[in-house]
Amino acid sequence: MAGWLNIAEIELSAMTVQCLDRRISSMGVLADQISAWEFVRNMGSKIVDWQFTTDNARTKLKHLYPKI
């Protein structure tokens, strides 16, 4: 469940830095800027390289996993 939330946080952070780091004069300009940023971002096809595996989680967070 946390995986999609992490991806959303990464994308919101990228949008803030790359698109919203300046004063924007109106809602129309804002919508246009975000739409253009979104198009370029989607064309880039970024991937997330997860390095914390389920096995790692079961080892490091064993108190959260039930015994089976």
More confident residue, 7 or 46: 7
Instruction: Report the C-alpha gap between 66 and 24 in whole angstroms.
Output: 50
More confident residue, 34 or 46: 34
Which structural domain, as residue segments, surrounds residue 7?
2-64
Q: Euclidean distance between the first and final Cα of the chain, in Å?
A: 21
Residue 2 structure tokens: 């946390």
Whether 1 has a pLDDT exceeding 60, the answer reads no
pLDDT at 45: 79
The number of distinct structural domains making up the chain is 1
